[in-house]
Structure 1
Amino acid sequence: MNQSKIHFQLLLPSSVDHLITQPVGKLLPVSAQETESTTFTALDCFDQPLRHSGRLLLEIDGDFELLRDDGPLVFQSATGQPRFINDFADGPLRQALSDLSPLRKLLPVGAGTRQQMLLAFIDDEGKTHCRARLLKFASETGPKFSLVELQGVRGYGKSLQQLRAHIERLGGAQVDCGALYKQLFPTLALYNAKAEIAIHSSETAFDAANKIIASCLPIMQANEAGIMADHDTEFLHDYRVQLRKIRSVLSLFKGVYDDAQTADLKARFSALAAPTGRLRDLDVYLLERDTYHDYLPESLHDGLDALLDLFSDERASEQEKLSQHLRSAAYKREVNRLAKLFKRQKDLAPGPNADQSAHDYACEQIWQHYRKVRKAALRIGPDTPDEEVHDLRIRCKKLRYLIEFFSTVFPKPALNKLLKPLKRLQDNLGLFNDYSVQQESLQAFLQKPGSGKGDSDLSIAQSVGALIAVLHGRQLEERNKALVSLARFNRPDVQQTFSDLFQNRKDDT
Structure 2
Amino acid sequence: MNIPPPLYFTVPDRVKVKKLNQRLAPSGVVLAGNDPEPVDGTVLDSFEDAFRKAGSILVQTGRTLNYIPGNADLIQADCPKDLFRFPESLKEGALRSLVDKLAPLRAMLPKGEVKVTFDTLRLLDDEEKTCCRLVVVTLSNDNGAWTWMKTIPMRGYDDSHTFLGKILEEHAASDMTPQAALNLPVSSYEAKPDIALNPEDPAKKSLCTIVSTFLGVARHNEEGVIADHDTEFLHDYRVSLRKVRSVISLFKGVFDKETDARLKAEFGGIMRETNLLRDRDVYLLAKPDYYALVPPQTHEGLDILFALLKKERRQAHKSVCTMLGSKAYKKQIKALGALFADPGNLVSGPMAEKPSRAFASLLILKRYKKVCKLAGKITTSTPDETIHDLRIQCKKLRYLIEAATPLFDAKAAKKLLKKLKKMQEHLGSFNDQSVQQEALAECLEKYGAKDKKGTLLA
- Taking a change above 3 Å as real, the CA distance of residues 42 and 438 of structure 1, as seen in their structure-2 partners, is same
CA distance in 2: counterparts of 1:138 and 1:298, whole angstroms: 49
Structure 1 residue corresponding to 2:109, chosen from 107, 113, 134:
107
Q: Counterpart of 2:101 in 1: which secondary structure?
A: coil
CA distance in 1: counterparts of 2:338 and 2:437, whole angstroms: 42
Which residue in 2 is equivalent to 1:390?
A: 388
Q: Counterpart of 1:112 in 2: which secondary structure?
A: strand
CA distance in 1: counterparts of 2:238 and 2:414, whole angstroms: 25
Q: Counterpart of 2:416 in 1: which secondary structure?
A: helix
- 1:312 to 2:310 alignment: yes
- Taking a change above 3 Å as real, the CA distance of residues 378 and 130 of structure 1, as seen in their structure-2 partners, is closer
Alignment of 1:13-28 (within 5 A): 13=14, 18-19=19-20, 23-27=24-28
Which residue in 2 is equivalent to 1:97?
A: 99
Alignment of 1:421-500 (within 5 A): 421-447=419-445, 451-452=446-447, 457-460=451-454, 463-464=457-458
CA contact (8 A) 1:6 1:72 kept: no
Letter of the 1:54 partner, please give it: G
- 1:169 to 2:170 alignment: yes
CA contact (8 A) 1:34 1:118 kept: no
Q: Counterpart of 2:177 in 1: which secondary structure?
A: helix
CA distance in 2: counterparts of 1:24 and 1:258, whole angstroms: 80
CA shift, 1:197, in A, is 2.8
CA shift, 1:61, in A, is 1.8
Which residue in 1 is equivalent to 2:195?
A: 197
Which residue in 2 is equivalent to 1:301?
A: 299
- 1:255 to 2:253 alignment: yes
Aligned length: 456
Which residue in 2 is equivalent to 1:244?
A: 242
CA distance in 1: counterparts of 2:185 and 2:45, whole angstroms: 15
TM-score normalised to the size of structure 1? 0.80
Alignment of 1:60-459 (within 5 A): 60-81=61-82, 82-100=84-102, 103-140=105-142, 142-170=143-171, 172-174=172-174, 179-447=177-445, 451-452=446-447, 457-459=451-453
- Taking a change above 3 Å as real, the CA distance of residues 97 and 312 of structure 1, as seen in their structure-2 partners, is closer
CA distance in 1: counterparts of 2:285 and 2:59, whole angstroms: 28
CA shift, 1:98, in A, is 4.6
- 1:54 to 2:23 alignment: no
Long gaps (5+) in structure 1? 465-509
CA distance in 1: counterparts of 2:34 and 2:22, whole angstroms: 15
Structure 1 residues 342-351 or 307-316, which shifts more? 342-351
Letter of the 1:173 partner, please give it: A
Q: Deviations over 1:195-246 (max 9, x none)?
A: 3434342333223212222222232122222222222222111111111111
CA distance in 2: counterparts of 1:280 and 1:250, whole angstroms: 23
Long gaps (5+) in structure 2? none
Percent identity at matched positions? 36
Letter of the 1:5 partner, please give it: P
CA shift, 1:248, in A, is 0.7
CA distance in 2: counterparts of 1:38 and 1:74, whole angstroms: 18
The RMSD of aligned alpha carbons is 3.0
TM-score normalised to the size of structure 2? 0.88
CA shift, 1:298, in A, is 4.3
- Taking a change above 3 Å as real, the CA distance of residues 429 and 134 of structure 1, as seen in their structure-2 partners, is closer
CA contact (8 A) 1:301 1:463 kept: no
CA shift, 1:276, in A, is 0.7
Letter of the 2:201 partner, please give it: E
Q: Counterpart of 1:376 in 2: which secondary structure?
A: helix
CA distance in 2: counterparts of 1:71 and 1:14, whole angstroms: 18
- Taking a change above 3 Å as real, the CA distance of residues 189 and 388 of structure 1, as seen in their structure-2 partners, is closer
Q: Deviations over 1:51-91 (max 9, x none)?
A: 33333111112112111234211122334444211221123
CA contact (8 A) 1:110 1:185 kept: no
CA distance in 2: counterparts of 1:33 and 1:146, whole angstroms: 16
- Taking a change above 3 Å as real, the CA distance of residues 258 and 27 of structure 1, as seen in their structure-2 partners, is farther
CA shift, 1:390, in A, is 2.7
Structure 1 residues 341-350 or 330-339, which shifts more? 341-350
CA contact (8 A) 2:32 2:124 kept: no
- Taking a change above 3 Å as real, the CA distance of residues 8 and 377 of structure 1, as seen in their structure-2 partners, is same
